[in-house]
């Protein structure tokens, strides 16, 4: 299979998983928190396709709803991070001078901070017993607010190249307004870079959320996410009794690999 076909295949797989998560309410046979107390740790059957967890909740339902949480909110966090990087990086690259120095120094400082340590520190500021929905919002907002520095450097470099371009000089010379220059000339040229950064950030945020949730500091139960579903792997006897418990991990790995396979196409356009 050549690279082009592999990219199309990855895009199709990603779309299918995304649609599955989006219509979780329709696809899933049960609500994600419904307990079947008579059959905890059940093996796969026609009633429970992937079996049940230790609390008797249907694993397939939790996987589908978890996909929705992870695959809808990771792009939202990536969008926030890319927007911050785009605004600050674009501003620094185009304006230059002391603004550029201040923004780049702040970026260097932020990049020096270890992401996971800072995430733990900020998460520790919030109470541990917040509602599950609030925990989802807090986790992904923190990811979005802290994930911009590496993207900023790339956007800044692209914007700096544009600053000295002839077409911008011409636009300025013909008296174009600043807003028109930004909307008509700058944004279309920065769009491929921004899109590539957005695309790169998604799998990073999916993986970070998984690690945070596995440590009990991300998405809180009973709301499922790929991260807190992976906590089920800690129980080795349950995993060996029902290997289908590995399905969240398989799905996560598949999605991250698909993102990696699609990315080169975006880089080429950038």
Partner 1 sequence: MLAAVGLLGGLLSASLVRFSPGYGVDEQELDFRLSQASVEAIRNSHRIHSGLLSYYGHYLAGAIHGDFGSSQWLQRPISSLIKERFPVTAKSALLGVSLAWLVALLISFAGVFFRGFYFDVSTTLISAVLIALPAAVVAIFSVYLRAPVFVAIAVVIFPKLFRYLRNLLNHAYSQPYILAARARGISQSRILFSHVLPLASPALFALLGVSLAVAFGAAIPIEALCDSPGVGQLAWQAALNRDMPLIMNLTLLVTLITVAANMLANIAQERAL
Shortest reach from residue 227's CB to partner 1, in Å: 8
Q: Which stretch binds partner 1 (CB under 8 A): 83-91, 136-144, 179-187, 247-255?
A: 247-255
Out of 203, 205, 225, 262, the residue judged to bind partner 1 by CB under 8 A: 203
Residues in a beta bridge with 35: 57
CA distance between the termini of the chain: 24
* Minimum distance of partner 1 from residue 214's CB (angstroms): 4
Give the position of tokens 């925990």.
135
Question: Is-contact 52 36, C-beta < 8 A?
Answer: yes
Least distance from C-beta 257 to partner 1, angstroms?
A: 5
Burial class (CB within 10 angstroms; exposed 0-12, middle 13-18, buried 19+) of 15: exposed
Does 188 contact partner 1 by CB under 8 A? no
Q: Cβ neighbours of residue 81 under 8 Å, at least 6 residues apart?
A: 143, 144, 145, 146, 147, 148, 151, 201, 205
Q: Does 102 contact partner 1 by CB under 8 A?
A: no
Nearer to partner 1, 98 or 117 (CB): 117
Per CB under 8 A, residues contacting partner 1 are 109, 112-118, 120-125, 127-128, 203, 207-208, 210-211, 214-217, 227, 230, 233-234, 236, 249, 252-253, 256-257, 260
């Amino acid at each position: 299979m050549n690279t082009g076909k592999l990219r199309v295949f990855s895009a199709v797989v990603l779309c299918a998983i995304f649609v599955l998560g989006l219509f979780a309410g329709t696809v899933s046979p049960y609500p994600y928190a419904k307990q079947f107390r008579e059959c905890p740790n059940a093996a796969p059957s026609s009633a429970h396709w992937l079996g049940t967890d230790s609390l008797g909740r249907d694993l397939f339902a939790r996987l589908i709803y978890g996909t929705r949480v992870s695959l809808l909110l990771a792009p939202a966090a990536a969008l926030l991070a890319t927007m911050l990087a785009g605004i600050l990086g674009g501003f620094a690259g185009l304006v230059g001078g002391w603004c550029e120095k201040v923004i780049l120094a702040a970026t260097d400082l932020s990049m020096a901070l270890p992401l996971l340590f800072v995430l733990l520190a900020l998460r520790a500021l919030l109470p541990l017993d917040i509602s599950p929905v609030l925990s989802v919002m807090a986790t992904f907002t923190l990811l979005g607010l802290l994930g911009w520095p590496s993207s900023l450097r790339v956007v800044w470099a692209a914007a700096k190249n544009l600053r000295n371009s002839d077409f911008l000089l011409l636009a300025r010379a013909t008296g174009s307004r600043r807003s028109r220059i930004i909307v008509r000339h700058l944004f279309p040229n920065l769009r491929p870079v921004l899109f590539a950064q957005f695309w790169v950030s998604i799998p990073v945020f999916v993986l970070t959320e998984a690690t945070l949730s596995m440590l009990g500091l991300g998405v809180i139960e009973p709301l499922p996410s790929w991260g807190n579903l992976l906590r089920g792997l800690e129980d080795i006897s349950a995993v060996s009794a029902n290997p289908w418990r590995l399905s969240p991990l398989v799905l996560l790995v598949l999605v991250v690999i698909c993102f990696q396979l699609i990315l080169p196409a975006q880089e080429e356009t950038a």
